[in-house]
Amino acid sequence: MKIAVIKYNAGNIRSVAFALERLHVDYTITDHAEEIQQADKVIFPGVGEASTTMRYLKDHRLDDLIRSLKQPVLGICLGMQLLCKHSEENDTPCLGIFEETVRLFVPQHHEKVPHMGWNSLTTINDWLPSDLKDQFVYFVHSFYVPLSAHTSAQTEYIQAFSSAMRKDNFYAVQFHPEKSGPVGEKVIQAFLQQ
């Protein structure tokens, strides 16, 4: 199985690569269109700011490439947000795979923003194994995707939001499976089995 990790200006590519190594999975980190198109699975990582990252993807013609992919694609954190239609982070038009708009957390009772730390997956469906229900994963984000028909897992912080999603061949997680211990490893393996 060939895994392509999309190479761009994201902050967590190294961590994603190390997580794949711990699972003894072969991968390449690449921004070559052909190599990405020919991979069996594609991982789209992401740590950073939406508008700068979207500009980088456009400049490197990765935006149309990602939209056109037919194999399973996994967006992580900012990668998941960029798969949505629009982000409130600097009013950024995104890739539009998911119809949802990415919103800023607004504290109700002095909750801290960013939502940083370990929180649980309170509902699980679709592609994620059911034994991940109520397990903890690591989050760092200030923007969230509201619940929708594409939600595959939900988590509560300030309100309930989508911690995992899927539409067709596009899979996405808001948390960092590469930093979420054995639970995160199960999530990566679940994606690799799609």
Partner 1 sequence: MLTKRIIPCLDIKDGRTVKGVNFLELRDSGDPVALGEMYAQQGADELVFLDISATNEKRKTFVKLVREIAAHVNIPFTVGGGISSIEDVAPLLEAGADKVSINSAAVSNPQLIDDLAKAFGSQFVVLAIDARKVNNQWTVHTHGGSRPTDKKLFTWAKEGQSRGAGEILFTSMDHDGTKSGFAVDPLEKLNQLLQIPVIASGGAGNMNHFLEAFVIGKADAALAATLFHFGEIKIPDLKAYLSNHYLPIRKTI
Query: Torsions phi, psi of 102, nearest 5?
Result: -85, 125
Question: Which of 32, 40, 114, 194: binder of partner 1 (CB under 8 A)?
Answer: 114
Residue 116 contacts partner 1 per CB under 8 A: yes
Nearer to partner 1, 139 or 170 (CB): 139
Active-site hit among 89, 94, 141, 178:
178
| DSSP reduced 3-state for 188 | helix
Q: Are 2 and 30 in contact (CB under 8 A)?
A: no
Shortest distance in whole angstroms from residue 106 CB to partner 1? 11
Residue 189 contacts partner 1 per CB under 8 A: no
Which residue type does 158 have? I
Cα separation, 97 vs 109, in Å, equals: 33
178 is catalytic: yes
Stretch that binds partner 1, among 64-72, 82-90, 91-99, 111-119 (CB under 8 A): 111-119
Cα separation, 2 vs 71, in Å, equals: 11
- The 130-169 site mask, x for binding partner 1 (CB under 8 A), equals -----xx-x-xx--------------xx------------
Distances (CA, A) of 119 to 25, 111, 135: 27, 14, 8
Nearer to partner 1, 93 or 114 (CB): 114
Shortest distance in whole angstroms from residue 181 CB to partner 1? 5
- Give me the DSSP letters along 36-71: HHH-SEEEE---S-HHHHHHHHHHTTHHHHHHH--S
Summarize as ranges the residues that interact with partner 1 (CB under 8 A).
11-12, 14-15, 18-19, 21-22, 47-49, 107, 110, 112-120, 135-136, 138, 140-141, 156-157, 176, 178-185
Return the active site residues: 77, 176, 178
